[in-house]
Amino acid sequence: MLQQLNKEVLLKRKEALEQVIKRRFIYQPAFSLYGGVAGLYDYGPVGCAIKTNIEQYWREHFIIEEDLFEIAATILTPEPVLKASGHVDRFTDLLVCDSKTGTGYRADKIVTETLENRIAKEGDKLAADVKAKYLLVIKDVDTFKEDKMKEIIAELQIKAPETGNDLTDPTPFNLMLPTIVGPSTKLPAYLRPETAQGMFLNFARLLEQNGGRVPFGAAQIGLGFRNEIAPRGGLLRCREFQMAEIEYFVDPNEKSTFKKFNKYINLEIPLLSRQLQADAKLHQPYKMGDAVKEGIINNETLAYFICRTYLYLVEIGINPINIRFRQHQADEMAHYSSDCWDAEIEMSSGWVECVGLADRSAYDLNAHSTATGQKLQAARKFKVPQPRQVIQIILDKQKIGKELKKDGMTLIKYVEALPDDEKQELSEYFQTHEEKVFNIDGKDLTLNRQLVKFEQKTMNVMEEKFIPHVIEPAFGIGRILQAIIEHSFNQRDDPQKTYFKFSPRVAPVKCSILSVVQNEEFDIVIQELTSSLKKLGISCKTDNAGVALGKKYARTDEIGIPFAITVDKETLTAQSITLREIETTKQVRVPIVEVPRLILELSNGLILWTDVLNKYPLFAAKEEDA
């Protein structure tokens, strides 16, 4: 059944698909009435329902299965948070402008396009060394910093494409959308560029909900925003996009083993490792257990989420042959990251990153700790006491008492109760300072370094603090939706007759209810059936218009309704209907009373169409079902 849907197959169907996307309003550019805004799309009823179904199944597959804590944090985010996370300084693309018209371009894109055009246009006339230089630049341009980009633009004489004018020097353009909150405080803020920060900021609250234990995961489904310089590719690069992210907090000592990973050690998944990329080879299937053993994937926790992601994508209707996991090159990853993989899906535009799975180490919790002075830590509890180097503070209590009188005791108690890491910090502080002022209950009390000694000592402890590491699977819902639509789209023998082979749980509407001809008695049955399906929360679409049944099927096929119920003469005598499946177009005869539960179970994936074929008598389609 599985068909290799390579770029060529998908490209061939693309025009027909785009017509359906427009005609049936699956999604369309936003604000078309007002001339449109690049990078903004509205989902119509079909697209919106698929999006809801993808998200709902994401909840079942990840949140319910892994007992994740789903939260809903805000989009509005004050500047200091994004300063700490690094986004204010580093969430940028290099921007160049037409020096006369001011039109802006993304520097890496304009360099790539210009050089690709030259190669295509000049062909064999291009000197071999020039062509080699061009190809090298195209390969590396997205890693260039300002200076290097400026140098290349000058050297290769890159100009504004529409006008041929000079380009301004490349400058970093921050991709966050700014706003101002409040009338008088005028707090600078941004629309969040990812949902992740909301989960880091709520770490301590969630840890408490989990009884202080790691591992646990937080999850969030919501919008992210990127003020793209050059949005394009439909849903692939938008300025406003739906994401689903998990932040899985683990003890760094324990992330290499993940108990539930055992059941996937024999699961084969196509990997494009760093090594394969260096050798210019294609992705190839690995048993996941081997991939971890051989050190291709850094740890079992990361590997487990790669498995779960793969299974999710397949379950919602992505063609497994068109999925691969590509490992980031060392220079692609953030410096703190120990490993990073993208789930890429092959679409008409090539391989597209749809899910990113990164080991972010302790970077984010550390960053917010540093910025706020609040510790974001968990405790590792031991079953038997463990020897640990601890720092001990020895105070000259007598002298302190003499100096500070009754405040002396307050100071002594306070300093002795400091947590280990703060004692450590204090010992380092006194290496360069003579005294330290503590503000205790509103009173400044000074401790002189002459009155303190520090001693390292091995002690048996029952727990120690640590900053958890984070494994982050981050899903781009719009990209996944685009992939599902491309992979599900099909044409029958007559290429005008198009249909989507959606997985029933993803299908925007679960079933259509049609009449074979217009007839008031049929309408009553249709109404009753509709009402009993709706009571079970099943979306359905009725069509009792006076057109040929074949035309009605074509309409429901076009938006991928997997099951069609048809009411005919026999319905009135035998209390049964025909049930048709979209891909096979086979029909069976089913007693009306059994229909609602049957559709419910088909929609939830509890039973399959083959089960239905085994249970009910096949119905021979008449000529009207052309």
> Going by C-beta distance under 8 Å and a sequence separation of 6 or more, which residues neighbour residue 334?
358, 360, 363
CB of 415 to a copy of itself, least distance (A): 26
Told to check if 295 binds a copy of itself by CB under 8 A, we report: no
Please name the residue that has the structure tokens 């020096």.
99
Q: What is the distance between the alpha carbons of residues 19 and 13, in angstroms, rounded to a whole number?
A: 10
Told to check if 97 binds a copy of itself by CB under 8 A, we report: yes
* Smaller CB separation from a copy of itself, 168 or 427: 168
Told to check if 233 binds a copy of itself by CB under 8 A, we report: no
Q: Kindly tell me which residue out of 134, 225, 522, 619 binds a copy of itself, with binding defined by CB under 8 A.
A: 225
Told to check if 69 binds a copy of itself by CB under 8 A, we report: yes
Query: Within 13 Å, how many C-alpha atoms sit on residue 247's CB side?
Result: 26
Strand order in the sheet with 216-225: 69-70, 216-225, 240-250, 469-476, 350-361, 339-347, 323-327, 268-272, 284-287
203-211, 322-330, 391-399, 424-432 -> range binding a copy of itself (CB under 8 A): 203-211
Residues numbered 261 to 280 that lie near a copy of itself (CB under 8 A) are none
CB of 257 to a copy of itself, least distance (A): 19
* Smaller CB separation from a copy of itself, 191 or 426: 191
Q: What's the one-letter identity of residue 53? A: N
Tell how far CA 278 is from the center of its chain. Answer: 26
Told to check if 372 binds a copy of itself by CB under 8 A, we report: yes
How would you classify residue 10: left for phi > 0, otherwise alpha for psi between -120 and 50, otherwise beta?
Answer: alpha
Tokens of 276: 């394969």
Q: Kindly tell me which residue out of 178, 285, 419, 617 binds a copy of itself, with binding defined by CB under 8 A.
A: 178
CB of 284 to a copy of itself, least distance (A): 32
Residues numbered 418 to 447 that lie near a copy of itself (CB under 8 A) are none
CB of 413 to a copy of itself, least distance (A): 27
94-102, 128-136, 291-299, 323-331 -> range binding a copy of itself (CB under 8 A): 94-102
* Smaller CB separation from a copy of itself, 261 or 430: 261
Q: Kindly tell me which residue out of 141, 201, 267, 567 binds a copy of itself, with binding defined by CB under 8 A.
A: 201
CB of 64 to a copy of itself, least distance (A): 5
Told to check if 363 binds a copy of itself by CB under 8 A, we report: no
Told to check if 370 binds a copy of itself by CB under 8 A, we report: no
Q: In Å, how far are 106, 162, 349, 411, 525 from 118, measured between CA atoms?
A: 18, 15, 21, 74, 66
Q: What is the distance between the alpha carbons of residues 37 and 227, in angstroms, rounded to a whole number?
A: 12
Q: Kindly tell me which residue out of 150, 368, 380, 479 binds a copy of itself, with binding defined by CB under 8 A.
A: 368
Told to check if 235 binds a copy of itself by CB under 8 A, we report: no
Binding residues for a copy of itself, rule CB under 8 A, total 81
Q: What is the distance between the alpha carbons of residues 404 and 427, in angstroms, rounded to a whole number?
A: 21
Is the bond preceding residue 215 a cis peptide, omega within 30 degrees? yes
Q: Going by DSSP bridges, is the β-strand pair 452-466/498-500 parallel, antiparallel, or unpaired?
A: unpaired
CA R_g for the chain: 31
Please name the residue that has the structure tokens 């803020």.
189
* Smaller CB separation from a copy of itself, 19 or 389: 19
CB of 191 to a copy of itself, least distance (A): 7
* Smaller CB separation from a copy of itself, 180 or 618: 180
Single out the residue of 416, 419, 573, 560 nearest to residue 499, CA to CA.
560
Single out the residue of 355, 352, 246, 344 nearest to residue 301, CA to CA.
246
Told to check if 188 binds a copy of itself by CB under 8 A, we report: no
Q: What is the distance between the alpha carbons of residues 50 and 242, in angstroms, rounded to a whole number?
A: 13
Tell how far CA 293 is from the center of its chain. Answer: 27
* Smaller CB separation from a copy of itself, 410 or 604: 604
Helix orientation angle between 406-416 and 397-404, rounded to the nearest 10 degrees:
140
- Say whether 141 sits in a helix, a strand or coil: helix
Tell how far CA 6 is from the center of its chain. Answer: 23
* Smaller CB separation from a copy of itself, 371 or 462: 371
* Smaller CB separation from a copy of itself, 95 or 267: 95
Told to check if 328 binds a copy of itself by CB under 8 A, we report: no
CB of 211 to a copy of itself, least distance (A): 8
Tell me 169's DSSP state. P
Told to check if 182 binds a copy of itself by CB under 8 A, we report: yes
CB of 595 to a copy of itself, least distance (A): 16
Q: In Å, how far are 501, 510, 527 from 513, measured between CA atoms?
A: 18, 10, 9
Q: Going by DSSP bridges, is the β-strand pair 216-225/69-70 parallel, antiparallel, or unpaired?
A: parallel
Q: What's the one-letter identity of residue 605? A: G
Q: What's the one-letter identity of residue 111? A: V
* Residue 73 dihedral angles phi and psi, to the nearest 5°: -95, 175
Q: What is the distance between the alpha carbons of residues 276 and 86, in angstroms, rounded to a whole number?
A: 31
Residues numbered 522 to 561 that lie near a copy of itself (CB under 8 A) are 534, 537-539, 541
Single out the residue of 169, 9, 12, 6 nearest to residue 96, CA to CA.
169
Told to check if 70 binds a copy of itself by CB under 8 A, we report: yes
Told to check if 382 binds a copy of itself by CB under 8 A, we report: no
CB of 386 to a copy of itself, least distance (A): 22
Q: Kindly tell me which residue out of 5, 30, 196, 485 binds a copy of itself, with binding defined by CB under 8 A.
A: 30
Single out the residue of 346, 251, 360, 359 nearest to residue 305, CA to CA.
359
Residues numbered 98 to 127 that lie near a copy of itself (CB under 8 A) are 102-104
Told to check if 209 binds a copy of itself by CB under 8 A, we report: yes
CB of 209 to a copy of itself, least distance (A): 6
Q: Kindly tell me which residue out of 21, 81, 149, 516 binds a copy of itself, with binding defined by CB under 8 A.
A: 81
CB of 476 to a copy of itself, least distance (A): 15
- Say whether 345 sits in a helix, a strand or coil: strand
* Smaller CB separation from a copy of itself, 424 or 604: 604
Single out the residue of 199, 203, 264, 269 nearest to residue 472, CA to CA.
199
Q: Kindly tell me which residue out of 7, 14, 59, 287 binds a copy of itself, with binding defined by CB under 8 A.
A: 59
Quick note: the x/- pattern for a copy of itself over 9-28, rule CB under 8 A, is ---------------xx--x
Please name the residue that has the structure tokens 């749809």.
354
Told to check if 56 binds a copy of itself by CB under 8 A, we report: yes
Residues numbered 146 to 175 that lie near a copy of itself (CB under 8 A) are 173
